[in-house]
Amino acid sequence: MSLNGKKPVAIIGGGLAGLTAAAQLRRHGAPFVLYEAGPKIAGLAMTFSDGDGFSYDFGAHFITNRLAAAIGIGSKCRTVRYYGETVFMDGRTYGYPFGLMRVPRFAFKGVVAKAAAFKKGNAPQSAAEWYRRNYGSAMADEVAIPLTEAWSGVAADKLSPAVGDSLPGSISRTIMLKLASRLTRRAVACGYSREMPETPNVWHVYPEGGLGLLCQRLASGLEEDIKLESPVEEILVEDGRVVAVRAKGFEQEVSAVVSTAPRHILAKLVKGTDALQPLSRFRYRPMVFVNMRFQGRGLLPDVVIWTPENKYPFFRLTETPLSMPWLAPEGKTLITVDIGCNVGDETWSMDEEQLGEFCLGHLEDMIPNARQKYLGCRVLRTPIAYPVFLNEYEADRQRFELSTGVEGLYSIGRNGEFSHIFMEDVYWRTMKRTRQLVASLDR
Ligand SMILES: Cc1cc2nc3c(=O)[nH]c(=O)nc-3n(C[C@H](O)[C@H](O)[C@H](O)COP(=O)(O)OP(=O)(O)OC[C@H]3O[C@@H](n4cnc5c(N)ncnc54)[C@H](O)[C@@H]3O)c2cc1C
Protein backbone atom coordinates (compact mmCIF):
# COMPACT_ATOMS: atom_id res chain seq x y z
CA MET A 1 0.00 0.00 0.00
CA SER A 2 1.43 3.44 -0.86
CA LEU A 3 0.17 6.35 1.17
CA ASN A 4 3.07 8.57 0.21
CA GLY A 5 1.22 10.82 -2.23
CA LYS A 6 -1.50 11.62 0.33
CA LYS A 7 -1.82 14.88 2.22
CA PRO A 8 -0.25 14.51 5.65
CA VAL A 9 -2.10 13.49 8.79
CA ALA A 10 -1.86 16.26 11.41
CA ILE A 11 -1.09 14.90 14.89
CA ILE A 12 -1.84 17.29 17.75
CA GLY A 13 0.40 16.63 20.76
CA GLY A 14 3.82 15.08 21.33
CA GLY A 15 3.00 12.97 24.39
CA LEU A 16 2.94 9.17 24.40
CA ALA A 17 -0.25 8.96 22.30
CA GLY A 18 0.79 11.43 19.60
CA LEU A 19 4.24 9.88 19.26
CA THR A 20 2.82 6.34 19.15
CA ALA A 21 0.51 7.44 16.32
CA ALA A 22 3.42 9.12 14.52
CA ALA A 23 5.67 6.04 14.76
CA GLN A 24 2.87 3.81 13.52
CA LEU A 25 2.06 6.11 10.56
CA ARG A 26 5.75 6.16 9.60
CA ARG A 27 5.81 2.36 9.71
CA HIS A 28 2.95 2.34 7.19
CA GLY A 29 4.54 4.98 4.98
CA ALA A 30 1.82 7.55 5.70
CA PRO A 31 3.01 11.18 5.80
CA PHE A 32 2.30 13.20 8.97
CA VAL A 33 3.17 16.42 10.75
CA LEU A 34 3.19 16.34 14.56
CA TYR A 35 2.49 19.66 16.28
CA GLU A 36 3.50 20.04 19.93
CA ALA A 37 2.50 23.19 21.78
CA GLY A 38 5.36 23.02 24.29
CA PRO A 39 9.13 23.30 23.81
CA LYS A 40 9.66 19.54 24.47
CA ILE A 41 8.01 16.22 23.68
CA ALA A 42 6.61 13.79 26.33
CA GLY A 43 3.63 15.71 27.80
CA LEU A 44 2.53 14.03 31.03
CA ALA A 45 5.32 11.44 30.65
CA MET A 46 7.99 14.02 31.45
CA THR A 47 10.63 13.45 34.12
CA PHE A 48 12.21 16.25 36.15
CA SER A 49 15.58 16.18 37.94
CA ASP A 50 16.50 18.84 40.46
CA GLY A 51 20.29 18.75 40.25
CA ASP A 52 20.59 17.41 43.84
CA GLY A 53 20.03 13.78 42.76
CA PHE A 54 16.22 13.71 43.18
CA SER A 55 13.95 12.99 40.23
CA TYR A 56 10.19 12.89 39.88
CA ASP A 57 7.43 12.59 37.29
CA PHE A 58 3.88 13.90 37.11
CA GLY A 59 2.45 11.89 40.02
CA ALA A 60 3.70 8.40 40.83
CA HIS A 61 4.87 6.80 37.64
CA PHE A 62 5.47 3.22 36.66
CA ILE A 63 5.23 1.51 33.34
CA THR A 64 5.14 -2.21 32.67
CA ASN A 65 7.78 -4.51 31.21
CA ARG A 66 5.24 -5.30 28.44
CA LEU A 67 5.00 -1.65 27.35
CA ALA A 68 8.77 -1.20 27.60
CA ALA A 69 9.30 -4.26 25.38
CA ALA A 70 6.70 -3.09 22.84
CA ILE A 71 8.46 0.28 22.49
CA GLY A 72 11.92 -1.31 22.41
CA ILE A 73 13.38 -0.01 25.67
CA GLY A 74 13.05 -3.24 27.69
CA SER A 75 16.81 -3.57 28.21
CA LYS A 76 16.99 0.02 29.47
CA CYS A 77 14.50 -0.47 32.29
CA ARG A 78 14.98 -1.49 35.91
CA THR A 79 12.64 -3.94 37.58
CA VAL A 80 10.52 -2.54 40.40
CA ARG A 81 10.68 -5.10 43.21
CA TYR A 82 7.94 -3.84 45.48
CA TYR A 83 4.81 -1.72 45.25
CA GLY A 84 2.17 -1.41 47.96
CA GLU A 85 -0.75 0.82 48.93
CA THR A 86 -2.05 1.57 52.40
CA VAL A 87 -4.95 3.59 53.78
CA PHE A 88 -4.26 5.90 56.75
CA MET A 89 -7.27 6.58 59.01
CA ASP A 90 -7.73 7.41 62.71
CA GLY A 91 -3.96 7.38 63.12
CA ARG A 92 -3.76 3.74 61.91
CA THR A 93 -2.72 2.09 58.65
CA TYR A 94 -4.67 -0.55 56.72
CA GLY A 95 -2.94 -2.35 53.84
CA TYR A 96 -4.83 -2.47 50.54
CA PRO A 97 -6.70 -4.75 50.00
CA PHE A 98 -6.07 -7.32 52.77
CA GLY A 99 -5.82 -4.92 55.72
CA LEU A 100 -9.12 -3.25 54.81
CA MET A 101 -10.83 -6.61 54.34
CA ARG A 102 -9.86 -7.57 57.90
CA VAL A 103 -11.80 -4.63 59.42
CA PRO A 104 -15.02 -6.36 60.63
CA ARG A 105 -17.44 -3.54 59.72
CA PHE A 106 -15.98 -3.23 56.21
CA ALA A 107 -16.11 -6.99 55.66
CA PHE A 108 -19.63 -7.40 57.06
CA LYS A 109 -21.21 -4.45 55.22
CA GLY A 110 -19.38 -5.50 52.04
CA VAL A 111 -20.98 -8.95 52.10
CA VAL A 112 -24.44 -7.50 52.89
CA ALA A 113 -24.12 -5.02 50.00
CA LYS A 114 -23.07 -7.71 47.53
CA ALA A 115 -26.04 -9.87 48.47
CA ALA A 116 -28.45 -6.91 48.14
CA ALA A 117 -26.97 -5.82 44.80
CA PHE A 118 -27.39 -9.36 43.50
CA LYS A 119 -31.13 -9.20 44.31
CA LYS A 120 -31.70 -5.64 43.02
CA GLY A 121 -30.41 -6.15 39.50
CA ASN A 122 -30.82 -2.54 38.27
CA ALA A 123 -27.70 -0.51 37.53
CA PRO A 124 -26.32 2.10 39.98
CA GLN A 125 -27.02 5.73 39.03
CA SER A 126 -23.95 7.45 40.49
CA ALA A 127 -20.42 6.76 41.67
CA ALA A 128 -21.62 6.95 45.29
CA GLU A 129 -24.21 4.25 44.63
CA TRP A 130 -21.65 2.16 42.73
CA TYR A 131 -19.26 2.22 45.71
CA ARG A 132 -21.97 1.38 48.27
CA ARG A 133 -23.15 -1.57 46.19
CA ASN A 134 -19.71 -2.93 45.50
CA TYR A 135 -17.88 -2.20 48.77
CA GLY A 136 -20.70 -1.81 51.31
CA SER A 137 -21.72 1.41 53.04
CA ALA A 138 -18.91 1.46 55.64
CA MET A 139 -16.00 1.20 53.20
CA ALA A 140 -17.80 3.43 50.67
CA ASP A 141 -18.58 6.22 53.16
CA GLU A 142 -15.33 6.13 55.10
CA VAL A 143 -12.80 5.40 52.35
CA ALA A 144 -13.87 5.28 48.70
CA ILE A 145 -16.28 8.24 48.55
CA PRO A 146 -14.11 10.77 50.45
CA LEU A 147 -11.10 9.82 48.32
CA THR A 148 -13.08 10.20 45.11
CA GLU A 149 -14.45 13.56 46.19
CA ALA A 150 -10.99 14.88 47.13
CA TRP A 151 -9.59 13.65 43.85
CA SER A 152 -12.39 14.95 41.63
CA GLY A 153 -13.57 18.02 43.57
CA VAL A 154 -17.19 16.90 43.07
CA ALA A 155 -19.75 15.12 45.29
CA ALA A 156 -19.75 11.39 44.46
CA ASP A 157 -23.53 11.41 43.85
CA LYS A 158 -22.92 13.81 40.94
CA LEU A 159 -20.36 11.50 39.35
CA SER A 160 -21.11 8.74 36.88
CA PRO A 161 -20.98 5.10 38.05
CA ALA A 162 -18.41 4.66 35.25
CA VAL A 163 -15.82 5.94 37.79
CA GLY A 164 -15.91 2.37 39.16
CA ASP A 165 -14.78 0.97 35.79
CA SER A 166 -11.29 2.39 36.29
CA LEU A 167 -10.74 0.43 39.52
CA PRO A 168 -8.99 -2.95 39.76
CA GLY A 169 -11.15 -5.95 38.86
CA SER A 170 -12.26 -8.86 41.01
CA ILE A 171 -10.91 -9.40 44.50
CA SER A 172 -9.81 -12.97 43.65
CA ARG A 173 -7.71 -11.68 40.73
CA THR A 174 -6.21 -8.97 42.96
CA ILE A 175 -5.28 -11.59 45.57
CA MET A 176 -3.72 -13.83 42.91
CA LEU A 177 -1.63 -10.96 41.47
CA LYS A 178 -0.51 -9.79 44.94
CA LEU A 179 0.58 -13.32 45.84
CA ALA A 180 2.46 -13.61 42.53
CA SER A 181 4.23 -10.37 43.44
CA ARG A 182 5.43 -11.80 46.75
CA LEU A 183 6.59 -15.05 45.18
CA THR A 184 8.44 -13.49 42.24
CA ARG A 185 9.76 -10.45 44.16
CA ARG A 186 8.53 -8.25 41.33
CA ALA A 187 5.82 -5.60 41.54
CA VAL A 188 3.22 -7.44 39.43
CA ALA A 189 0.87 -4.91 37.80
CA CYS A 190 -2.66 -4.92 39.20
CA GLY A 191 -5.43 -2.62 37.99
CA TYR A 192 -3.08 -1.16 35.39
CA SER A 193 -4.43 -2.38 32.05
CA ARG A 194 -7.90 -3.09 30.69
CA GLU A 195 -6.77 -3.62 27.10
CA MET A 196 -4.46 -6.56 27.81
CA PRO A 197 -4.62 -9.42 30.32
CA GLU A 198 -2.99 -8.88 33.73
CA THR A 199 -0.80 -11.83 34.58
CA PRO A 200 2.16 -12.56 36.89
CA ASN A 201 4.38 -11.97 33.83
CA VAL A 202 3.54 -8.26 33.64
CA TRP A 203 5.28 -6.15 36.25
CA HIS A 204 6.33 -2.57 36.97
CA VAL A 205 9.57 -1.25 35.54
CA TYR A 206 11.16 2.18 35.37
CA PRO A 207 13.26 3.43 32.43
CA GLU A 208 16.86 4.57 33.05
CA GLY A 209 16.88 8.36 33.20
CA GLY A 210 13.08 8.56 33.54
CA LEU A 211 9.84 8.06 31.68
CA GLY A 212 10.80 10.52 28.98
CA LEU A 213 12.86 7.67 27.48
CA LEU A 214 9.65 6.11 26.14
CA CYS A 215 8.88 9.20 24.13
CA GLN A 216 12.48 9.76 23.03
CA ARG A 217 12.54 6.23 21.63
CA LEU A 218 9.26 6.68 19.77
CA ALA A 219 10.41 10.04 18.37
CA SER A 220 13.77 8.79 17.18
CA GLY A 221 14.02 9.15 13.38
CA LEU A 222 10.85 11.27 13.24
CA GLU A 223 12.46 14.58 14.27
CA GLU A 224 12.00 16.27 10.90
CA ASP A 225 8.24 15.88 11.08
CA ILE A 226 7.85 17.06 14.69
CA LYS A 227 7.22 20.77 15.15
CA LEU A 228 7.81 22.01 18.69
CA GLU A 229 6.31 25.22 20.11
CA SER A 230 3.62 24.95 17.46
CA PRO A 231 0.20 24.92 19.09
CA VAL A 232 -2.57 24.03 16.66
CA GLU A 233 -4.94 27.00 16.71
CA GLU A 234 -7.71 25.72 14.45
CA ILE A 235 -8.96 22.51 12.86
CA LEU A 236 -10.91 23.36 9.73
CA VAL A 237 -13.92 21.22 8.83
CA GLU A 238 -15.88 21.38 5.55
CA ASP A 239 -19.01 19.34 4.86
CA GLY A 240 -18.45 17.28 8.00
CA ARG A 241 -14.84 16.35 7.10
CA VAL A 242 -11.49 17.72 8.34
CA VAL A 243 -9.60 19.51 5.57
CA ALA A 244 -6.81 21.54 7.23
CA VAL A 245 -5.19 22.73 10.45
CA ARG A 246 -3.78 26.13 11.27
CA ALA A 247 -0.66 26.50 13.45
CA LYS A 248 1.38 29.66 13.94
CA GLY A 249 -0.88 31.32 11.39
CA PHE A 250 0.07 28.81 8.69
CA GLU A 251 -2.61 26.61 7.12
CA GLN A 252 -1.75 22.98 6.30
CA GLU A 253 -4.09 20.84 4.21
CA VAL A 254 -4.50 17.40 5.77
CA SER A 255 -6.03 14.01 5.07
CA ALA A 256 -6.95 13.46 8.74
CA VAL A 257 -6.34 14.89 12.22
CA VAL A 258 -5.34 12.86 15.26
CA SER A 259 -5.78 14.99 18.37
CA THR A 260 -4.48 14.18 21.84
CA ALA A 261 -5.59 17.54 23.26
CA PRO A 262 -8.11 17.51 26.12
CA ARG A 263 -11.66 17.29 24.80
CA HIS A 264 -12.83 20.72 25.92
CA ILE A 265 -9.85 22.24 24.09
CA LEU A 266 -10.49 20.15 20.98
CA ALA A 267 -14.08 21.48 20.91
CA LYS A 268 -12.72 25.03 20.76
CA LEU A 269 -10.20 24.24 18.00
CA VAL A 270 -12.74 22.81 15.56
CA LYS A 271 -14.21 25.37 13.11
CA GLY A 272 -16.90 24.77 10.51
CA THR A 273 -19.18 22.49 12.55
CA ASP A 274 -20.78 22.50 15.97
CA ALA A 275 -20.69 18.69 16.22
CA LEU A 276 -18.16 18.87 19.07
CA GLN A 277 -19.90 21.62 21.01
CA PRO A 278 -21.08 19.28 23.85
CA LEU A 279 -17.41 18.54 24.64
CA SER A 280 -16.68 22.15 25.61
CA ARG A 281 -18.25 21.59 29.07
CA PHE A 282 -16.18 18.49 29.89
CA ARG A 283 -14.09 19.11 33.00
CA TYR A 284 -10.62 18.02 34.11
CA ARG A 285 -9.36 18.19 37.68
CA PRO A 286 -6.26 20.36 38.16
CA MET A 287 -3.62 19.07 40.57
CA VAL A 288 -0.64 20.42 42.43
CA PHE A 289 2.10 17.87 43.13
CA VAL A 290 4.44 18.86 45.94
CA ASN A 291 7.64 16.80 45.73
CA MET A 292 9.05 17.02 49.26
CA ARG A 293 12.66 16.05 49.93
CA PHE A 294 13.67 14.56 53.29
CA GLN A 295 16.67 13.21 55.12
CA GLY A 296 16.17 9.49 55.81
CA ARG A 297 14.14 6.85 53.99
CA GLY A 298 11.10 4.71 54.80
CA LEU A 299 9.30 7.66 56.37
CA LEU A 300 5.91 6.40 55.18
CA PRO A 301 4.59 2.93 56.06
CA ASP A 302 4.15 2.04 52.36
CA VAL A 303 4.86 3.36 48.86
CA VAL A 304 1.40 4.93 48.47
CA ILE A 305 -0.66 6.22 51.38
CA TRP A 306 -4.30 7.16 50.79
CA THR A 307 -5.70 9.71 53.24
CA PRO A 308 -9.53 9.76 53.10
CA GLU A 309 -10.06 11.95 56.20
CA ASN A 310 -11.04 15.44 55.15
CA LYS A 311 -8.77 17.06 57.74
CA TYR A 312 -6.00 16.49 55.17
CA PRO A 313 -5.82 18.83 52.17
CA PHE A 314 -4.25 15.99 50.12
CA PHE A 315 -5.60 12.55 49.28
CA ARG A 316 -2.43 10.66 48.35
CA LEU A 317 1.21 10.55 49.44
CA THR A 318 3.82 8.57 47.54
CA GLU A 319 7.32 7.73 48.72
CA THR A 320 8.63 6.64 45.33
CA PRO A 321 12.15 5.60 46.52
CA LEU A 322 10.56 2.72 48.49
CA SER A 323 9.80 1.20 45.07
CA MET A 324 12.55 2.85 43.08
CA PRO A 325 15.51 3.64 45.35
CA TRP A 326 17.40 5.34 42.49
CA LEU A 327 14.99 8.32 42.45
CA ALA A 328 16.67 9.92 45.50
CA PRO A 329 20.27 10.03 46.78
CA GLU A 330 21.23 7.36 49.34
CA GLY A 331 19.94 8.13 52.83
CA LYS A 332 17.38 10.64 51.49
CA THR A 333 13.87 10.32 50.19
CA LEU A 334 11.13 12.01 48.21
CA ILE A 335 7.45 12.16 49.12
CA THR A 336 5.01 13.38 46.48
CA VAL A 337 1.88 15.00 47.88
CA ASP A 338 -1.15 15.13 45.52
CA ILE A 339 -3.53 18.04 46.13
CA GLY A 340 -6.69 18.50 44.04
CA CYS A 341 -7.52 22.16 43.37
CA ASN A 342 -8.84 24.63 40.82
CA VAL A 343 -6.74 26.82 38.58
CA GLY A 344 -6.18 30.15 40.33
CA ASP A 345 -7.47 29.07 43.76
CA GLU A 346 -5.49 29.47 46.98
CA THR A 347 -3.64 26.14 46.67
CA TRP A 348 -2.84 26.64 42.98
CA SER A 349 -1.47 30.13 43.69
CA MET A 350 0.83 29.25 46.64
CA ASP A 351 4.55 29.41 45.92
CA GLU A 352 6.91 26.50 46.56
CA GLU A 353 7.88 27.55 50.05
CA GLN A 354 4.26 28.07 51.15
CA LEU A 355 3.18 24.71 49.73
CA GLY A 356 6.06 22.95 51.50
CA GLU A 357 5.05 24.55 54.82
CA PHE A 358 1.38 23.77 54.22
CA CYS A 359 2.10 20.06 53.65
CA LEU A 360 4.64 19.81 56.49
CA GLY A 361 2.01 20.99 58.96
CA HIS A 362 -0.10 17.93 58.09
CA LEU A 363 2.69 15.41 57.58
CA GLU A 364 3.86 15.78 61.18
CA ASP A 365 0.90 13.51 62.12
CA MET A 366 2.47 10.68 60.16
CA ILE A 367 6.20 11.37 60.13
CA PRO A 368 7.87 12.00 63.49
CA ASN A 369 10.16 15.07 63.35
CA ALA A 370 9.16 15.74 59.73
CA ARG A 371 10.23 19.37 60.00
CA GLN A 372 13.78 18.55 61.15
CA LYS A 373 14.19 16.08 58.25
CA TYR A 374 12.75 18.39 55.59
CA LEU A 375 15.09 19.48 52.76
CA GLY A 376 12.74 21.65 50.67
CA CYS A 377 10.36 20.86 47.82
CA ARG A 378 9.78 21.15 44.09
CA VAL A 379 6.26 21.74 42.79
CA LEU A 380 4.55 20.64 39.57
CA ARG A 381 1.12 21.87 38.52
CA THR A 382 -1.21 20.65 35.80
CA PRO A 383 -4.71 21.89 34.92
CA ILE A 384 -5.64 18.54 33.31
CA ALA A 385 -4.63 15.71 35.67
CA TYR A 386 -7.89 13.73 35.76
CA PRO A 387 -11.03 13.61 33.61
CA VAL A 388 -14.05 14.28 35.87
CA PHE A 389 -16.96 12.01 34.91
CA LEU A 390 -19.92 14.24 35.77
CA ASN A 391 -23.26 12.49 35.44
CA GLU A 392 -24.66 15.54 33.64
CA TYR A 393 -22.58 14.81 30.54
CA GLU A 394 -22.40 11.04 30.80
CA ALA A 395 -24.56 10.48 27.69
CA ASP A 396 -22.26 12.72 25.62
CA ARG A 397 -19.19 11.01 27.06
CA GLN A 398 -20.46 7.62 25.93
CA ARG A 399 -21.49 8.92 22.50
CA PHE A 400 -18.06 10.47 21.84
CA GLU A 401 -16.35 7.25 22.90
CA LEU A 402 -17.54 5.80 19.59
CA SER A 403 -16.61 8.71 17.30
CA THR A 404 -16.01 12.47 17.18
CA GLY A 405 -18.82 12.78 14.63
CA VAL A 406 -16.45 14.52 12.17
CA GLU A 407 -15.01 12.44 9.36
CA GLY A 408 -11.22 12.13 9.57
CA LEU A 409 -11.01 13.53 13.13
CA TYR A 410 -9.74 11.16 15.83
CA SER A 411 -9.48 12.07 19.52
CA ILE A 412 -7.03 9.76 21.28
CA GLY A 413 -4.81 9.48 24.38
CA ARG A 414 -5.71 9.89 28.04
CA ASN A 415 -7.27 13.34 27.81
CA GLY A 416 -8.35 12.98 24.18
CA GLU A 417 -10.35 9.87 25.11
CA PHE A 418 -11.40 11.45 28.42
CA SER A 419 -10.47 8.25 30.17
CA HIS A 420 -8.54 7.25 33.30
CA ILE A 421 -6.02 5.18 31.42
CA PHE A 422 -2.41 4.43 32.16
CA MET A 423 0.34 4.56 29.59
CA GLU A 424 0.06 0.95 28.53
CA ASP A 425 -3.58 1.35 27.55
CA VAL A 426 -2.84 4.71 25.90
CA TYR A 427 -0.34 2.80 23.76
CA TRP A 428 -2.52 -0.20 22.83
CA ARG A 429 -5.58 1.92 22.17
CA THR A 430 -3.61 4.35 20.03
CA MET A 431 -2.12 1.49 18.01
CA LYS A 432 -5.62 0.18 17.35
CA ARG A 433 -6.99 3.59 16.33
CA THR A 434 -4.01 4.30 14.09
CA ARG A 435 -4.48 0.98 12.30
CA GLN A 436 -8.09 2.00 11.60
CA LEU A 437 -6.90 5.39 10.34
CA VAL A 438 -4.33 3.80 8.00
CA ALA A 439 -7.01 1.48 6.61
CA SER A 440 -9.32 4.45 5.98
CA LEU A 441 -6.53 6.43 4.26
CA ASP A 442 -5.91 3.46 2.01
CA ARG A 443 -9.54 3.46 0.90
C1 LIG B 1 -1.06 12.25 38.34
C2 LIG B 1 -0.89 11.22 37.28
C3 LIG B 1 -0.25 10.03 37.57
C4 LIG B 1 -0.10 9.07 36.58
N5 LIG B 1 0.56 7.91 36.89
C6 LIG B 1 0.78 7.01 35.92
C7 LIG B 1 1.54 5.84 36.17
O8 LIG B 1 2.05 5.63 37.27
N9 LIG B 1 1.72 4.97 35.16
C10 LIG B 1 1.21 5.17 33.92
O11 LIG B 1 1.41 4.33 33.03
N12 LIG B 1 0.49 6.27 33.63
C13 LIG B 1 0.27 7.18 34.60
N14 LIG B 1 -0.45 8.31 34.32
C15 LIG B 1 -1.06 8.46 32.99
C16 LIG B 1 -0.07 8.87 31.92
O17 LIG B 1 0.73 9.92 32.39
C18 LIG B 1 -0.84 9.31 30.70
O19 LIG B 1 -1.79 8.32 30.36
C20 LIG B 1 -0.01 9.54 29.43
O21 LIG B 1 1.21 10.19 29.72
C22 LIG B 1 -0.89 10.38 28.52
O23 LIG B 1 -0.25 10.62 27.29
P24 LIG B 1 -1.04 11.43 26.16
O25 LIG B 1 -0.14 11.50 25.00
O26 LIG B 1 -2.40 10.87 25.98
O27 LIG B 1 -1.29 12.90 26.76
P28 LIG B 1 -0.28 14.05 27.20
O29 LIG B 1 0.94 13.47 27.79
O30 LIG B 1 -1.10 15.00 27.99
O31 LIG B 1 0.15 14.73 25.83
C32 LIG B 1 -0.67 15.64 25.14
C33 LIG B 1 0.23 16.67 24.47
O34 LIG B 1 -0.58 17.49 23.64
C35 LIG B 1 -0.04 18.80 23.66
N36 LIG B 1 -1.10 19.72 23.20
C37 LIG B 1 -2.28 20.03 23.80
N38 LIG B 1 -2.97 20.92 23.06
C39 LIG B 1 -2.23 21.15 21.94
C40 LIG B 1 -2.41 21.96 20.77
N41 LIG B 1 -3.49 22.73 20.59
N42 LIG B 1 -1.44 21.96 19.82
C43 LIG B 1 -0.32 21.19 19.96
N44 LIG B 1 -0.10 20.42 21.06
C45 LIG B 1 -1.04 20.38 22.02
C46 LIG B 1 0.37 18.99 25.11
O47 LIG B 1 1.34 20.02 25.24
C48 LIG B 1 0.94 17.60 25.44
O49 LIG B 1 2.34 17.53 25.22
C50 LIG B 1 -0.61 9.30 35.29
C51 LIG B 1 -1.23 10.51 34.98
C52 LIG B 1 -1.37 11.48 35.96
C53 LIG B 1 -2.03 12.78 35.61
- Does the beta carbon of 110 lie inside 6 Å of ligand 1? no
If DSSP codes are grouped into helix, strand and coil, which group holds residue 270?
Answer: strand
Q: Is the CB of 12 under 6 A from ligand 1?
A: yes
* Closest protein CA for atom 49 of ligand 1: 43
| Antiparallel, parallel or unpaired: β 85-89 and 304-306 | parallel
C-alpha to C-alpha distance for 359 and 350, rounded to whole angstroms: 12
**pLDDT for residue 6:** 84
Adjacency order of strands within the sheet including 256-259: 226-227, 32-35, 9-12, 256-259, 409-411
Work out the average pLDDT over 373-381: 97
Protein residue whose Cα sits closest to atom 22 of ligand 1: 414
- 60 CB less than 6 Å from ligand 1? yes
Residue 175 binned pLDDT confidence (cut-offs 50, 70, 90) = confident
Domain ranges for the chain: 9-44+212-282+391-442, 48-62+72-83+283-388
pLDDT tens sequence across 426-439: 999 999 999 999 99
**pLDDT tens, 405-419?**
999 999 999 999 999
CATH of domain 48-62+72-83+283-388: 3.90.660.20
- For residues 145-160, average pLDDT: 96
* Cα 15 to middle of ligand 1, angstroms: 6
Percent of the chain with pLDDT over 70: 97
Closest C-alpha residue for ligand 1 atom 3: 59
Residue to substitute in 44, 67, 279 for testing ligand 1 pocket (most ligand atoms within 8 angstroms of CB):
44
Facing residues of 48 across strands?
56
* 442 vs 309 pLDDT, higher one: 309
Q: In angstroms, what is the span from residue 285 Cα to ligand 1's centroid?
A: 13
Residues 6+ apart with CB under 8 A from 272: 236, 237, 238
Q: Do domains 9-44+212-282+391-442 and 48-62+72-83+283-388 have the same CATH topology?
A: no
DSSP 85-139: EEEEETTEEEETTHHHHTSHHHHHHHHHHHHHHHHH-SPPSSHHHHHHHHH-HHH
Instruction: Give the pLDDT score at 168.
Output: 65
Q: Please report the pLDDT score of residue 32 as a whole number.
A: 98
- What does pTM read for this prediction? 0.95
Pairing of strands 332-340, 316-318: antiparallel
Query: Of the residues 211, 260, 412, which should be mutated to test ligand 1's pocket, given the most ligand atoms within 8 Å of the CB?
Result: 260
Write the residue with the smallest CA distance to atom 31 of ligand 1.
15
Question: If DSSP codes are grouped into helix, strand and coil, which group holds residue 8?
Answer: coil
Look at residue 287 and tell me whether its pLDDT is greater than 70. yes
Taking the centre of ligand 1 as the mean of its atom positions, its distance from the CA of residue 116, in whole angstroms, is 39
Q: Strand ranges (DSSP E) for 118-213?
A: 204-207
Between the CA of 390 and the centroid of ligand 1 the distance, in Å, is: 21
pLDDT at 1: 46
Take atom 2 of ligand 1 and give the residue whose Cα is closest.
59
Q: Architecture of domain 9-44+212-282+391-442 in CATH? A: 3-Layer(bba) Sandwich (3.50)
pLDDT at 115: 75
* C-alpha radius of gyration, the chain, whole number: 22
Which atom in ligand 1 lies closest to the alpha carbon of residue 416? Answer: 26
Integer CA distances (angstroms), 202 to 14, 48, 82, 86, 341, in order: 26, 26, 13, 22, 34
User: Judging by beta carbons within 10 Å of its beta carbon (0-12, 13-18, 19+), is residue 141 exposed, middle or buried?
Assistant: middle
Mean pLDDT of 23-46: 96
CB 57 within 8 A of CB 46: yes
Q: Using one digit for the tens of pLDDT, what is the confidence trace for 61-82?
A: 899 999 999 999 999 999 999 9
